[in-house]
């Protein structure tokens, strides 16, 4: 797989995270605080940066992977001891806890125990997180530096994909790389995986191949929805779901959007939505505990469970719809990208960061444009001026 073959070996090879890596290097050298939380969207290089840094700087790295079994005893026995003992080879050491969200799920004392370890640690402790702003981490954040890794610009991702294609001797039409990079929304890992799918067993990739790939994916989703809502054979429904290659949380939105058109019997509809709700509960448990061995259950419930909830099949020729919630999410994401772009453009004019403007300026700017168009026009003219 390309994702494994082209893992960056040097910090300079990591795409789009120069500022975050510099801040992390300063943290390790200064250690004003004994721990740091590196946070940002999935797939942008948080964990990778720590691994590569440790290799480049000859640090021993003790990595605690995501797990649903983390508890106070594990912290004390593994992290606590490691934070006090010298490195195996007498050098420097970094302790990394991957995916803070899964840390100590179901154990109320685990964060307090972690804080005690941080206070006494002889070595820097790194925690990675997609979103560290949950209230249960409030006290923990006081003992940690906070370093944000930004979403990677699509142009940087495009260049990275082109570099991979060149090393693999694959001729890819430039517009395809642009589309993959834009579609990834800053997730480098996702972009490389899409490229891998497109280029498997090929030496040349055209723009039509890109459309064929994602048209086929959507056709498979519609087929899977049809098999769940129209058939009675559980094996057929489960196989159709597995062939789609999407997670159950997205698939249950498709079912939720279309089931009421097929399940006209109130009891069947009620039983079907009970299974949708049960699948959502399983997904929530998997997300909280990061215990991916449970993933089979929501997959089964949203496919076979929903299928078996009905007592009869309608004779209607149904036209299935995309989930409205997904469309709203895509629309909101597009608006946020536009807002971020505007904020970055005017950051120099207002002497503030793009993130600060997104949070503190843009909502009021929209309000002014809506309630006082004349003032909004004047403000826009000022912001666009040199």
34 secondary structure, DSSP code: S
Determine the pLDDT at residue 231. Answer: 81
pLDDT digits (tens, 9 = 90+) for 230-251: 888 888 788 888 877 677 788 8
Determine the pLDDT at residue 270. Answer: 92
Determine the pLDDT at residue 217. Answer: 57
In contact, 148 and 22? CB cutoff 8 Å: no
Cβ atoms < 10 Å from Cβ of 346 = 18
Distance CA 342, CA 340 (A): 5
Element (H, E) at 297: helix 296-300
> Under 8 Å CB-to-CB from 286, ≥6 apart: which residues?
292, 294, 295, 298
Element (H, E) at 94: strand 92-97
> Which pTM does this prediction carry?
0.58
pLDDT digits (tens, 9 = 90+) for 77-112: 788 888 888 777 667 899 998 878 766 555 567 888
| Cα within 13 Å of Cα(182), Cβ side | 9
Determine the pLDDT at residue 22. Answer: 93
According to CATH, the superfamily of the domain at 17-148 is P-loop containing nucleotide triphosphate hydrolases (3.40.50.300)
Burial of 295 (0-12, 13-18, 19+ CB in 10 A): middle
How would DSSP label each residue in 92-135? EEEEEE--GGGTTTT-TTHHHHHHHHHHH-SS-EEEEES-TTSG
Q: Please list the ranges in the chain whose pLDDT falls under 70.
A: 1, 66-75, 89-90, 102-108, 211-219, 245, 290, 292, 315-318, 324-346, 348-349, 354, 383-386
| Matching CATH number, 154-214, of 2.130.10.10, 3.20.20.300, 1.10.8.60, 3.30.70.1530 | 1.10.8.60
């Amino acid at each position: 797989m390309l994702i494994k073959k082209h893992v960056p070996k040097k910090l300079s090879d990591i795409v789009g995270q120069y500022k975050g890596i510099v801040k992390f290097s300063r943290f390790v050298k200064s250690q004003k605080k004994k721990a740091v939380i590196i946070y940002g969207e999935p797939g942008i290089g948080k964990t990778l940066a720590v691994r590569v840094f440790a290799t480049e700087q000859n640090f021993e790295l003790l990595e605690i992977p995501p797990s649903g079994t983390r508890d106070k005893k594990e912290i004390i026995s593994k992290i606590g001891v490691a934070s006090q003992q010298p490195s195996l080879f007498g050098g420097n050491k970094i302790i990394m806890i991957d995916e803070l969200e899964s840390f100590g799920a179901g154990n109320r004392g685990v964060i307090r125990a972690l804080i005690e370890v941080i206070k006494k640690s002889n070595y820097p402790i790194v925690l990675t997180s997609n979103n560290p702003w949950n209230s249960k981490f409030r006290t923990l954040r006081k003992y940690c530096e906070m370093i944000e890794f930004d979403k990677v610009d699509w142009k940087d991702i495009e260049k990275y994909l082109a570099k991979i294609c060149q090393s693999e001797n694959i001729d890819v039409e430039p517009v395809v790389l642009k589309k993959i990079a834009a579609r990834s929304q800053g997730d480098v890992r996702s972009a490389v995986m899409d490229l891998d799918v497109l280029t498997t067993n090929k030496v040349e990739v055209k723009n039509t191949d890109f459309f064929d790939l994602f048209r086929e994916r959507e056709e498979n989703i519609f087929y899977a929805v049809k098999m769940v809502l129209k058939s009675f054979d559980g094996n057929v429904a489960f196989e159709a779901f597995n062939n789609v290659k999407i997670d159950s949380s997205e698939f249950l939105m498709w079912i939720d959007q279309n089931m009421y058109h097929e399940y006209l019997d109130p009891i069947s509809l009620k039983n079907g939505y009970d299974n949708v709700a049960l699948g959502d509960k399983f997904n929530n448990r998997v997300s909280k505990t990061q215990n991916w061995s449970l993933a089979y259950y929501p997959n089964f419930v949203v496919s076979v469970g929903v299928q078996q909830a009905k007592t009869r099949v309608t004779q209607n020729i149904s036209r299935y719809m995309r989930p409205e919630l997904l469309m709203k999410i895509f629309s909101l994401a597009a608006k946020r990208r536009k807002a971020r772009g505007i904020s970055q453009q005017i950051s120099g004019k207002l002497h503030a960061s793009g993130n600060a403007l997104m949070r503190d300026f843009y909502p009021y700017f929209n309000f002014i444009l809506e309630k006082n168009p004349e003032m909004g026009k004047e403000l826009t003219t000022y912001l666009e001026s040199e």
